[in-house]
Structures are given as structure tokens and as C-alpha cells.
Structure 1
Amino acid sequence: MRADQLDFFSLVEFSPDQGGIQFCGRRAILLHTDAMGALRKELVETLGADIAKVILTRYGFSCGHEDAGLLAAYMNPDTVEQFVRGGPRVHMFSGIADVETRELEVDRERGHYRMSGFWRRSYEAEQHLRLFGRSDESVCWTLAGYASGFASYVFDTDMICVEHECEGRGDDHCAWTLMNAADCSPEFAGLRKYFQPLNIKDRINVLEGKVYERTRELEASEQRYRNLIEDLPEMVFALHLSGRMVQLNKAGRTRLGILPDQLPGLRLKDLVLPAYRAKASNFLKCIARERTATRLDVVMRDTDGRDFPVQLQVEPVFKDDKIVGYSGLAIDVTAQQERERKLTEYAARLENREQQIHDIINDAVYILDLDARFSFVNARMAELLGVPADRAIGRCCGELMLHSSALRVERDFQRRLKGEAGPPFEIMLAPAGASKRLLEVSSAVLSSDGKPEGVIGVARDITARREMERQLAQANRLSSLGQFASGIAHEINNPLGLVSGFAEELQSLMEAVPGAAENPDLAVLRRGLTTIQEQAQRCKAITDNLLLFSRKQSAPIEPVDAAMFVRERLASYHEVGLTRGLDIELRVETGLPPIATNPTLLDQVMQNLLKNARDAMNGGGRIGIVLRPANAGVDLEVLDEGPGLPAGVIDHVFDPFFTTKPPGRGTGLGLSICYGIMSELDGRIDCGNRPEGGAWFRIFLPAHELGMEARVQ
């Protein structure tokens, strides 16, 4: 019979009522693959993988050898080739694997035999993967043994099956080769031992000896460990899974006053003060849930009744990936907490001292981190930014500064981080509810251990300095122009006097000529002489103003009641018609100190400001005059409802000969004269535009010393 003619049902006879199965006329049994897997697992874990492989290989060899003997009588094969191919068929009938034979070589004369093929869905590879995972070597031990036993019977010589690919080690299928045992190459020579008889008793005795020796070593090691734990100065404990105390070393028992026979009745929560017991219970639950070591700060009480802080460090104890208990330390952290408290206090003092130093520095200090965000600002910088210091931390420049200033700071920040140097630069800040401030900023890289951490900047307020520089430049300009104007005025006054005198003399001579009144030609001449005199007088007025502008005012200073003086002057202006067509609204605030001034010069300034306001409103409208206390003096404001001052005009209104009036209506010297007078009176004059429309002019008048002393008293 050929191998492909073998039929499963002709080989197997089932007698379920008698509890029997016949395979080729001999009784057989059915086994679950999981049962074979359990046997494999028991052998590997008890005897080791190497011995388990010998046992299962010998088992497979015996099965293959017996099946070949049974199949020979039933099959009556025509050729040895058909006989050996019956082995894979029987393997498949048994549910062992799906077998595919690829090559078969039979040389009877030389006694050389070779066969190869594939096993797919090997039950043995499947069970090994389920129980142990992927292996580093082939695992189909019973299959290889079966093929070796079957082939050894068929060919009547020792045959060995070598599995060189295996699903159990991650290959796509199991590949095998049958060969003469004598033909095995050196690399397969070690396989012979798996087909030799095994003395299990001797092996077990050897293993028992090793286990006994290892047990004694473990017991000695455990005792040394217990002695070490017992003598440690720290409190060491072990807990059952339920939280019951299993062990507490001598240091813990002595410190807490616990006897050894009391341990089984105690839990971890019983070692801490009542306020911490709930935390201790939840602590163990957290460790069980997270399956990792963790810490908890609690307070315990010693035998003397003193409370002391403790840090519990507990970790779970595992067996077969299951938590069976806990081990831990209870460390007294009294000294550590005291050191931390002192360090915290010292750091707080240093930080407070540093902050105080930064805050008393008049310059603004800031630090930008590597993201160009504020990591520190002192009190002055916070004031200039218009926000509390804590609200500035973490914000970028663009959120707190004018756009142009923020761009300037950020460009400097990038340049500094690149290692580039640069001179100080200027920015403008406008805090809410305050006037704009001009700042000069110097910056540098802030680094630690050679690594940049940000940029530190120091911003100095130069607003007052720039104002003083402007005033000094204005004063120098006015002084130079004054000297020039004085010389011009003196040179012009002499010829003007001659022109005016000769014109007056010619008019007197014309009056003496008979019939001059009826002569039209003389009338033209007379009108011309009159015009000459009028223009000479106008030139005379201009030169007088030039002399007034250039003249140093050295009038005496006296204490003056500002409110009374302004009221008297306004009444006088009304009588002479200076305020005709104007609605004057005077507002005087309380608490005005006496001022130190010269009434005549102050009157001249007031007249000039009122005339300018009247001209700005074309001779009619409302003018507000406000008197209010100022720092060490009084502010006097003149407010009009005119068109205001254009942006390009404000910076030049006090320059000599600068005027916005049409030709013939102004010389451009009035406000320059006011500026000079206020400088001589130790005051100031400034101007600007009102939000509701119109312009304002403000003069500051210093308080008299006697008035200030009276206010202080």
C-alpha cells in the first residue's frame, strides 16, 4: 500500500461504550494539547529546560518507533520510500501537525538516507508560545523525536531529525531534516544526547542536593539580612498585604515602646498620631493601586510622649507579579526639617534684603528670561510699567510698553544673547494716569556657569535731565539772541529818531506855507509824512520790545497773595478794555501759599498770555484762569477755546521772532519775553493742548519762604 492510500478511519477503531480506542490494532488514548503543555511546563520548571527536552524527545522517539512497528504490519508497503512517507501521514492523523514532505533520498547500498519537509500548526510550538513566549531555539522536541524514532525503525539505522526553523522562535513555519546520525555535522553532534537513555533518579538526586545547598545559603543570607535590619539605627518594618505589622526592628520598637509580641496586632496606622491614621491607610491603598514605591510625611510619638516628624518610605513586595506585602523605612526628619526651616528663613531674608536693595534704588531694574519675558522687576520698574511687580512677571514687553519701546528692548535682547555689544539706548514709557517718562537703558547678559539665563537691564529716568537740557539750550539761545537783538535795537533807534524828527519838522513847515490846506499835492505829501511817522513809531515799538527781551530783569522780589493779585489785575484789564468781548472764568483752589515774585513783571506776563488767548479766539470767547497749589508753589493756568497749537508749533512757541500771526500783527517776541521773565522769577512756563479743544499755558510761581514755613508749622 502506498502512503497516500492510508485512511484515518481504517487505522482507528472507536469503541466508546467499552472505553476503548484501537490504533492499528493496539489500544490508544486521546490527550488534550493543553495537557501536554501542562506536562511540558511542569518538566521545565521542575527539572530545567535541558532535561525536559531530553524527556520529551525520548517520548517522541518511542512513539514514532512504536507507530512504525504497528504500521508495518498493517500497511505492507511496496517500497521503503512508501513506508517512510507513512510516518508524516500518521503524524497528521494524530493531530500533531500539518506535515509536508519535500525531499527524500534513499541509498540502500551505502546505507545513506535523507528526508526533509515542513511542519505547520505544530501543537508543540503553539503550547510553548502560550506558556513561555518566544524561544531562542527550536521547541518541537516530541515531533523531532517522533520523526527520528519512525525513520530509525524504517531504515533500520540510527536517524536524527534536526529542526532548523521553528514557529516557536518566530519563524513562519517549522522546517526539518532527517539524516543518518553518523552523518551529523559537528554543529548537530550535541543532539545525540537527547536520544540517549536518561537516569532521572540520579538527576533528581543531584537537583535535590543543589536545592538543599541553595536553601542553606538562602537561610544564612536571610539571617544576615535580619541581623542587619535589626541593628539599623533607622526604623525598618515589614507589613502583611492586609497592613498588619510583620516585623519592626529594634530601633523602631525602642523608639515607639512596642514589645515583639505586640506586633501581630498592630497596623501601620497604629504607629502614627490619630490625625494621620486615615492618611496612612490611604497610603497603603495608593501603593497597591500604583504598584510602586512612594513616600508620606506623618508624625509619631516616642516613649517619652514627644511628637516627632517622620517620613515613611514604603514599597510593595512582589511574588509572581502579585503584591504579597510591604517593606519600608520610617525616617526621623526632625533635623532635616529644622535645617530646611533655617535655610528657608535665610533664603527669605536674603530675598527680602535683595528686594529692598532693588526697591530703594531709584533706577528701574528688570530681567528678561530666555523667552524675552519679565522674570524680575524692582519697585521702580513696576511703577514705570504701571502694574504691580507680581503682575509683570511672566509677561512680555509688548504687553506693558509702548510698541516702539517694546521693539527697541526686544532688539537689544536679541543682540545681547548673540554676544554683541552696544551703547545705552532710550525708550519712552507711559504708565496709566501718569506723564510719559524718558528712560536711558543699559543692559547685559545674565549668565550662570557660563550659560546665558537672560538679559538684565537698568533703566534710568532722564526726563528731568532732558527738560533741563532743553531749558538750558533755550536759555542759551535766548541769551545769544538777546545780545544780538540789543545791538540791533540800539543801531536802529538812532536813525529812526532822525527819520521821525525830520518828518515832524517837515510837517510843521508845511503848516506854515500859505494855502497849504487847499493844495492837493501838499495833501499827498502830508499823508506821506504822517505814514512815515506812524511806521517809525511801529519800528520804535519793535526796538523797545527787543531791548526788553534782551534786558536782564533785576526787579525786587516780594511776597504776593496770588489770588488777590489776579483778581485785581483782571479788574484793571476790564477797565482799560483789554478783556473786552471776553468771558473770563476765574477758579481759585484752596490752600494757596504766598508767592515770591515781582508784581510788575508778573503783570506783564499775564497781559501777554491774555492777549495771545484773545487773538487765538479772534477777539471773543471764554478764557479760563485757574490757580491751584503746586509742589512748593502755585500753578497759574490760562485756558482758551481757540484752535490749539499745531504739533510742530509747541516746541517753538517760546523761540524769539516765532509767531503764527499774520504779518503786521505780531513780532514773535511776546512769549519769548514771558519765558525770560519767568526764568528771572525762578518760575517756569509751559504750554499744551486741551483734550476738549483749545490751548493751555501754565506758569509756575515759587512760594515765598515765610509762607512755606507758616504752612509747615
Structure 2
Amino acid sequence: MRSDELDFHSLIDFLPETGSISFCGRRAILVHADSMGALRKELVETVGLDIAKVILTRYGFSCGYEDAELLAGYMHPDSLEEFILGGPRTHMFSGIAEVEPGHPEIDHDHGRYRMSGRWRHSYEAEQHLRLFGRSEDPVCWTLTGYASGFASRVLDADMICVEHACEGRGDAHCAWTLMNASDCAPELAGLREYFKPLNIRDRINVLESRVLERTRELEASEQRYRNLIEDLPEMVFALHASGRLLHLNKAARLRLGVSEAQLPTLRLKDLVRPEYVARAAGFLKDIAIRRSTTDIDVVMSDAAGRPFPVRLQVEPVFKDDKIVGYSGLALDISAQLERERALTEYARQLESREQQIQDVINDAVYILDGSGRLAFINARMAELLGTAPEAALGRPVGELMPAASATRIDKDFARRIGGESGQPFEIMLPQGDGGSVLLEVNSALFVGNDTADGVIGVARDITARRQMEQQLAQANRLSALGQFASGVAHEINNPLGLVSGYAEELQALLDTSAGSKDIPQLETLRRGLVTIQQQAHRCKAITDNLLSFSRRQSAALETVDVGLFLAERLAFFNDAGLTRGVEVAVAIEPGLPPALASPALLEQVVQNLLKNARDAMNGKGRIELGVRNTAEGIEIEVGDEGPGLAPGVIEHVFDPFFTTKAPGKGTGLGLSICYSIMNEIHGRISCGNRAQGGAWFRVLLPCADDTPGGGAHGQ
């Protein structure tokens, strides 16, 4: 009979009346695939993967060998090839797998045999995936055992079926090769062990021996662990799930004054000071919720009743995912807290010293955090912003300074954070006295922990420097213009004298000519000659001013009582009509120290300022003249109620020939001469607008005591 002619119904008889099934004349049973899976799981978990594989492989081998003996009587195969192919056919009848055998290679004369094939829908791969998931190795142990047993019986040779692809490890199908056992490659030689008889009793005895040995090792290890815990210098404890003490090592018992007999009556909360009892009780509840190691700081009392701080580190103990107790350490943290206190105090001192250093530095320092808000300002920056340092923290700079200055800082911050380089820039901050300061700002990335945390900036007050630069530039301009004016004045004076002289002679000639008064045309000529003389005298005054402007005032300095000097000069100015029509309010601070000045030149400066103030008010109004002592010297201020100085005027008010008066009303040299005079007598002159309206001009004179040699200068 050919293998493909085998019929399932001819091989099996169902005899339900006798409760039996006959397969090839021998009793058989039906077994659920899931039951075989349960057996596999039990074997793997009980005796291990290797032994389970041996048992199931031997089981399959036995089934295959027996089926081959039974099938020989029923099949009466025509050839050895047909007999071999009967095994896969019978395997399929049993519901084991779908088998696709290849053509067998048989060399009967030399006893060499080989055949390959595929299994699909292997029950064994299916069960292994269901119970254990994907495997790294082939798992069709009973199938390979069956093929090995069947072939060994049919061919009367030691045959082994090797599975090299398996659905149980994720392959598309199971693939196998049947070969002589002696043909197995060295790496497959270990497979032969799975076909040898297995002595389960010996295996169990070995396992029991190993379990007993391991138990003794664990008991010894546990004892060593207990001894180690008992001798530890730290305080170690174990708690029941209820919080009752189960164990307290020797160090803890000695430190706390607790005996072993007391342990069953104590709980964790009984070991802490009364004020920490509630915290300790809640601590265990917190651990039960978190189900992880947790710590807490409490205070305990030693055997003498002295309190000491400890840190409890407690870990829950689980059994079957249920908390059955706790183990923990009670660490004395007295030294740690003292170190932390000392470090905190040291850090506070460092911070205080750093703040003091920052406050002493005259430069203004600020730090912007990552979002561009102020994280720090020193005392100088707070002073310039007109706020307290703590009130500025967390605020954008736009809330504390003018929009133009805040915009410059914000743009610089964006460039720095973006990794771009930055150049120094200038900002202007208004001050409470109505003035303002000019600051030069240099910035850099503020780096902490190797990352950019913001931008730090240092703002230096360059107001005085800029004023000095302007004064130097003004002095240079005046010097150049002085030389030019001197040359112009000398060149003009000569022809001007001739014009004036001839006009005077012509006028005298007309006055002595008989009947000249009766001729109208001559009267017109006479008026023209008078006008020529008047304008010549005016030009002469201008050239005299030019010469005065160009000439260095080599004045001798002497000690001057500024208050008394001004009182005397004001009386003279009033008699001369300089202050006619205006009110002059004088406020002289008492006890002024003497100043160094040239009385004649100082009189010229004050006279010019009073005249300009009167002209600014069109000869009507109030002039305020104040004298006070400042940190830099004696300051004289002249204020008026006029229109003040228009924007752009202040920068040029001391320039030669610059005037705001109507044409023909001024030469524009008066304030330039005042500026030159103040430079000569080592003083300073400045101007600005008053908050209540009008302009102010301030003259600063050095005090006699502030100059080396005092009043001896020029004596």
C-alpha cells in the first residue's frame, strides 16, 4: 500500500459502548491540545526547561516508534520509501500538525538516510506561544521525537530529526531535517542527549539534594546577616505591618535605652519625642501609599533622656505584592545638621560679603535671568533706578527706566542669549534732582553649571567724563576761534578807524560851514555821518569783544569772600542801571568758605549772566541769585523767569557767535568769554532749564582750602 492511500477510518475504530478507541488494533485515547500545553508548563516550571525537553522528546520518540510497529502490519508498504512517508501521514491523522515531507534519500547498502520537510499549524508551537511567548529556540519537541522514533524503527537505524525553523520562535513555518544520528554536526551533537533514557528518580534526588544544600546556605547567610545587623553601629529596626517593633539591633537598644523584653510592646511612634508622634504615625501610612523607600527627619531621646535628631529611612517588605512589614535605619544626623548649619552660615556670610563688595563698587551691576527679568542689582544700580534692590527683582527693566534705555538693554540681552557678540552701549537714566546720568554698559553671558542662565551687565557712570570731553572740545574750538577772531579784529580795526575818523572830520567840516544848516541835503549827509560813526563804534565794540575773547586772561587768583563780593557788586549793578526793571532775589548760604577767583573777571562773568537774564525776560521779571557750598566748591546760580533754553540750544550756548537774540541785539560772544574766563580761573560754568520755568546758569569756583597753596595763588 502506498502512503497516500492510507485512510484514517481504516486505521481507527471508535468503540463508545466499551469506552475505548482502537488505533491500528491498539487502544488509544484523545487528549486536548491545551492539556498537553498544561503538562508542558508544569514540567518546565517544575523540573526546568532542559529536563522538560528531554521528557517530551522521549514521549514523542516512543509514540513514533510504537506507531511504526503498528503501521507495518496494516500498511504492508511496497517500499521503504512508502513506509517512511507513512509516518507524516499518520502524524496528520493524529491532529499534531500539517506535514509537507520532502522526497526521502535512501542508501540502504551503506545505511545512510536523509529527508527534509515542513510542519504547519504545529499544536506544540501554538501551545508554547500561548503559555510562554516567543522562544529563542525551536519548541516542537514531541514532533521531532515522533519523527526520530518512527524513522529509527522503519529504517532500523539511529535517526534524529532536527528542527531548524519554528513557528514558536516567529518563523513562518516549522522546517526539519531527518538524518542519521552519526551525521549530526558537532554543534548538534547535544541533541542526542534528549533521546537517551531519563532516570527521573535520580534527577529528583539530585534536585532535593541541591534544595537542601541551598536551604542550609540560606540559613547560614541569614544568620550571618542577623549577626551583621546586630553588630552595626547604626540603629537598625524591623516593624510589623501594624508598626509594632519586631527587631531592634544592639546599637539602637543601647542608644535608646530599650531592652529586648520591651520590643513586643513598642511601636515606632513610641521611640520619638512626643511632638513627633503624629508625624511618625503618618509616615508609615505614607510609605504604604507610595510602596517605596521613604525617609523623614524626627527627634528621638537617648537613654539619658537627651534629644537628638535622626533620619528614618524605611523600606516596605512585600509578600505576594502585599506589605507584611517594614525595615529601616535610624541615622543620627546631629553632625550633618551642624555641618549644614555651618555651611548655611558660611554661604550667608559669603553672600553678604559679595553683596557688600557689589555695593561698594561704584559701577552699577545688574543680572537678567533667562526670561529677561532682573535677578540681581547692586546698591549703585538701585540708587540710579530710584528703587530698593529687593523691589526690582523679577521685574523687566522697562518698568524701572525710560523706554529708550530699556530697549537698548533688551536688544543687548537678545543678542547675548542668541550667542552673538555685543559692543558697549550707552543709556540715560533720569535722577530725582531733575538731572540725568549717562551710563556706558558692558555685558556678558551669565553662566552657571556650564549653561547660560542669563546676562550680567556693568554700567559705568560716564556723565563727568562726557562733560569733560565736551569741555575739552569746547576749549579746543574756542582756542581755534580765538586765534581766528584776533586776526579778524586786528584786520578790521585799521580800516574801521579810518572810516570813523573821516566821518568825524566830515561832520566837523559840516558843522563849521556857514549856511550848511539851511541846506536840506547837507542835513541828510550829517545824519548819515552820525550813523556811520555809531555803526563804526558798534563794530569797534565787536572787535574789542573779539580781542577780549581771543586774549588769554592771565589773572592773579586771590581769596574771595563770594557772599560779600556779590553783595557789593549787586549794589553797583543796581546803581549803574543793569538791574533796572527787574527784581533780584538773593539767597546766600551763611558760613561760606572763601573761594579762589579773580574779582575783576568774576565781576565780568556775573555781570554778563545778569544782563542775559534781564534780556531773556525783556527787562521785566524776577532774577534769583543763589550762592551755596557744594562738595566741589562754591556755586553761584543765576535763574530767570524767561522762556528757557530750547532743545538743541544748551549744547551750543557757549559757542562763539551763537546767540538767541534778535539780529543787532547781541554778538554771541558774551557767554563764550565767560566760558574762557572760568577755564582761566580753574572754575566751571554750566546751564540748564528750571523745573518751574526759565533758565539757570551755574558758576563753580574752587574753595581756597581745596587748592594746593590755598590763597597764595597769584599773590
Q: TM-score, normalised by structure 1?
A: 0.78
How far 1:282 moved relative to its partner? 5.3
Determine the structure 1 residue equivalent to 2:200: 200
**Partner letter of residue 645 of structure 1?**
A
Determine the structure 2 residue equivalent to 1:218: 218
- 1:650 maps to 2:650: yes
Alpha-carbon contact 1:61-1:146 (below 8 Å) kept: yes
How far 1:330 moved relative to its partner? 1.7
CA distance in 2, matches of 1:4, 1:501: 156
- 1:559 maps to 2:563: yes
CA distance in 2, matches of 1:631, 1:90: 126
Tell me the SS of whatever aligns to 1:119.
strand
Structure 2 residue corresponding to 1:602, chosen from 606, 629, 647: 606
**Partner letter of residue 640 of structure 2?**
V
When structure 1 is superposed on structure 2, of 694-703 and 443-452 the one drifting more is 443-452
CA distance in 1, matches of 2:291, 2:640: 82
1:337-376 map, 5 Å: 337-365=337-365
Alpha-carbon contact 1:605-1:677 (below 8 Å) kept: no
- 1:430 maps to 2:429: yes
CA distance in 1, matches of 2:426, 2:221: 75
1:333-412 map, 5 Å: 333-365=333-365, 377-384=377-384, 389=389, 401-404=405-408
Determine the structure 2 residue equivalent to 1:696: 695
CA distance in 1, matches of 2:700, 2:185: 119
Q: 1:393 to 1:249 in 2, by over 3 A?
A: same
How far 1:535 moved relative to its partner? 1.2
Alpha-carbon contact 2:684-2:701 (below 8 Å) kept: no
1:655-694 map, 5 Å: 655-660=655-660, 663-675=663-675, 685-688=685-688
When structure 1 is superposed on structure 2, of 285-294 and 677-686 the one drifting more is 677-686
Q: Deviations over 1:483-511 (max 9, x none)?
A: 87678768866875665455334323212
Structure 2 residue corresponding to 1:638, chosen from 640, 650, 663: 640
1:44-443 map, 5 Å: 44-75=44-75, 77-240=77-240, 243-264=243-264, 266-277=266-277, 279-280=279-280, 283-284=283-284, 287=287, 292-317=292-317, 325-365=325-365, 377-384=377-384, 389=389, 401-404=405-408, 427-430=426-429, 435-439=435-439
Q: 1:151 to 1:48 in 2, by over 3 A?
A: same
Q: 1:366 to 1:479 in 2, by over 3 A?
A: same
Q: Deviations over 1:175-224 (max 9, x none)?
A: 11222334333333322221121122222222222222222222222211
CA distance in 2, matches of 1:193, 1:495: 139
CA distance in 2, matches of 1:19, 1:388: 103
CA distance in 1, matches of 2:346, 2:306: 28
Unaligned runs of 5+ in 2: 705-715
CA distance in 2, matches of 1:561, 1:523: 50
Unaligned runs of 5+ in 1: 706-713
**Partner letter of residue 187 of structure 1?**
E
How far 1:651 moved relative to its partner? 1.6
Tell me the SS of whatever aligns to 2:102.
strand
Alpha-carbon contact 2:563-2:627 (below 8 Å) kept: no
Determine the structure 2 residue equivalent to 1:532: 532
CA distance in 2, matches of 1:625, 1:641: 13
Q: Deviations over 1:242-275 (max 9, x none)?
A: 5554432211222233333444555444443455
Alpha-carbon contact 2:152-2:158 (below 8 Å) kept: yes
Q: Deviations over 1:653-679 (max 9, x none)?
A: 111222355653431113324545777
How far 1:231 moved relative to its partner? 0.2
**Partner letter of residue 309 of structure 2?**
P
CA distance in 1, matches of 2:138, 2:322: 31
Alpha-carbon contact 1:402-1:430 (below 8 Å) kept: no
Determine the structure 2 residue equivalent to 1:708: none
RMSD between aligned residues: 5.0
How far 1:292 moved relative to its partner? 4.4
1:490-639 map, 5 Å: 499-519=499-519, 522-546=522-546, 557-559=561-563, 602-612=606-616, 614=618, 632=630, 635-639=637-641
How far 1:304 moved relative to its partner? 2.3
Q: 1:411 to 1:35 in 2, by over 3 A?
A: closer
Alpha-carbon contact 2:372-2:413 (below 8 Å) kept: no
**Partner letter of residue 646 of structure 2?**
L
Q: 1:492 to 1:38 in 2, by over 3 A?
A: same
Q: 1:384 to 1:663 in 2, by over 3 A?
A: same
CA distance in 2, matches of 1:8, 1:571: 151
Alpha-carbon contact 2:500-2:533 (below 8 Å) kept: yes
When structure 1 is superposed on structure 2, of 481-490 and 36-45 the one drifting more is 481-490
Q: 1:68 to 1:639 in 2, by over 3 A?
A: farther
**Partner letter of residue 341 of structure 1?**
R
Q: Deviations over 1:561-620 (max 9, x none)?
A: 99999999999989956x7xxxx9x999x9976989978863541221331454xxxx9x
Q: 1:274 to 1:554 in 2, by over 3 A?
A: closer
Alpha-carbon contact 2:574-2:580 (below 8 Å) kept: no
Q: Deviations over 1:282-313 (max 9, x none)?
A: 55555555554443323223232222222223
Alpha-carbon contact 2:384-2:429 (below 8 Å) kept: yes
CA distance in 1, matches of 2:241, 2:15: 54
**Partner letter of residue 462 of structure 2?**
I
CA distance in 2, matches of 1:315, 1:142: 48
Q: TM-score, normalised by structure 2?
A: 0.78
When structure 1 is superposed on structure 2, of 481-490 and 510-519 the one drifting more is 481-490
